[in-house]
Chain A
Amino acid sequence: MGFLGRNRSVITLLLAVFVLMVLLSFSARELVGVSWIERALHRLGAPFQHSVAVVVSFGREVAQSVRELSTLRRDNARLQSELEALNFKYQNLVEARLELERIRALLAYREEQAALDLILARVISRGLTTWHHEVVIDRGFAHGVQTGDAVVTHRGAVGRVIEVFSTSARVLLITDPRSAVAAVVQNGRDGALAEGDSSMLGGVRLARLPWDFPVAAGELVITSRLGDVFPRDHAFVIGVVAEVVTSADGLLKYARVVPAVDFGRLEEVLVVRRVTP
């Protein structure tokens, strides 16, 4: 006979006492509060309960995540496309704002120069090669543009119209070696010819100046009243003298001029219509 068989009565007694004490503790709770058995059981069971609760909670979260995964993917794709669309719209808005600023500056200039008949035009195409300094604008004889009209921006002289079509015109920039514009050095008021610099891409030079011609680096060069391209009663900035170079024999010199207009970023221009009597 084993241990249980030998002590059956004692074990039965202990179990009965235990059950009764449990019952007693439940029935007496309102009277004596939490019993020591309950406290002991809670103390022993709490870590297990906590662990189980954590595992259950984790499992619940995993299940929830799995359920939400397909929704998240859908939402992510939708948000991604929305972000791209918004980004595109934002870029368009930035571009529109920049364009607005440029056009506003040109229109302000047009209002200032009320005596001039100015037509706002956009650059729609550029020359055949990088060294042909020509642009095509979106205004032609249908808009009153004529061959020989001057083209300017609020920053200065751009060039002249060399060919006109119904809704477009070709403009020769002052930086092209084929271009020559009557100019004066602003301070000295001495006249010179501003030609497109054939030795420097995108430059202008005051060519064939006598050795004693008064010009120095930093001086402003503007269009002359003697020329027939730009209006005689207005002066447009051509650029700033960057360097004066004397020829080897010392008889002549020329001045390199950095144009006032950034021709690489030329997008809108003003065509100065000739006033025909």
Chain B
Amino acid sequence: MNKATLMLCILTVVCVLLHGTLMPSLTLFGGRVNLLVALVAGVALHYGTTSGMVVALGVGLLADTLFVGVFGLAAIPLVVIGYVVGLAERQFFRDEPLVAVAVGFISIVAFELLVLLLSRMAFGVWWGGAFVQAFVPTVLVNGALIPVFLFWLARILPRRKREVI
């Protein structure tokens, strides 16, 4: 196991645990930082599509096991985010600050909407107004803080190798 893999494994476990324990008590105007999305987007932006999707699968399944009990509810949106952000990494210059901000916003919006859709499919219940009330602060908080997390992640992760596909 190389250093990058080890670090990603540790980050996966730490982020999932913090997401359910620490983050709910650190809400800002009702929105909390989504470390799962931040980690997946960061890895995808740093290493590319495949790594992003692999980490997304690990993070998502762990989160599904611990928080939801329905496999795929978190994993599917995260894998999609890993893939899309990985593709964006090929199209844009990844160290551009605006790219990080855009990735933060788009990732959290995609995650929330996909989880809402999948929750509707899984539980047959529509969250409606409750979702909208939580959605705006969540998007704003994450849109502002995920870029910071992405820059921090880019600094601590070992040197990236561009994927050859």
Residues of A within 8 A of B (CB): 124-132, 134, 136, 162-163, 170, 177-178, 196-203
Contact = CB atoms under 8 A, between A and B. Distances in A.
A58 B131 CA distance: 72
A136 B20 contact: yes
B127 interface: yes
Interface stretch (B2-10, B26-34, B99-107): B26-34
Contacts of B27: 130
B138 A128 contact: no
Contacts of A197: 129-130
Interface of B: 20-21, 24, 27, 30-32, 34, 63, 66-69, 73-74, 112, 115, 119, 123, 125-131, 133-135, 138
A217 B20 CA distance: 35
The 3 A-B residue pairs with the shortest CB-CB distance, nearest first, are A199-B129, A125-B20, A126-B24
Given A126-B24, A130-B30, A198-B126, A136 B66 contact: yes
A130 B21 contact: no
Contacts of A132: 67-68, 119
B74 A128 contact: yes
Given A178-B123, A199-B128, A200-B129, A130 B67 contact: no
B20 A198 contact: no
Nearest to A195: B125
Contacts of B20: 125-127, 136
Interface of B is mostly: helix
Given A132-B119, A201-B30, A201-B134, A127 B67 contact: yes
Most buried by B among A131, A197, A201: A131
A88 B100 CA distance: 37
A130 B28 CA distance: 11
A200 B133 contact: yes
B134 A129 contact: yes
B163 to A, nearest CB: 29
Contact of B134 (A124, A130, A177, A178): A130
Contacts of B63: 128
B138 A129 contact: yes
Contacts of B128: 198-199
Given A136-B66, A162-B69, A201-B134, 9 more contacts: A126-B20, A126-B21, A128-B68, A128-B73, A131-B130, A131-B134, A132-B119, A177-B125, A177-B130
Most buried by A among B20, B34, B73: B20
Nearest to B131: A131
Nearest to B137: A130
Most buried by B among A162, A177, A202: A177
A54 to B, nearest CB: 59
B24 to A, nearest CB: 4
Most buried by A among B27, B68, B73: B68
Nearest to B123: A178
B119 to A, nearest CB: 7
Contacts of A200: 129-130, 133
Nearest to B36: A128
20 contacts: A125-B21, A126-B20, A126-B21, A127-B20, A127-B68, A128-B68, A128-B115, A129-B138, A132-B68, A134-B67, A136-B66, A136-B67, A163-B69, A177-B127, A196-B130, A198-B127, A198-B130, A199-B130, A200-B133, A201-B134
B27 to A, nearest CB: 7
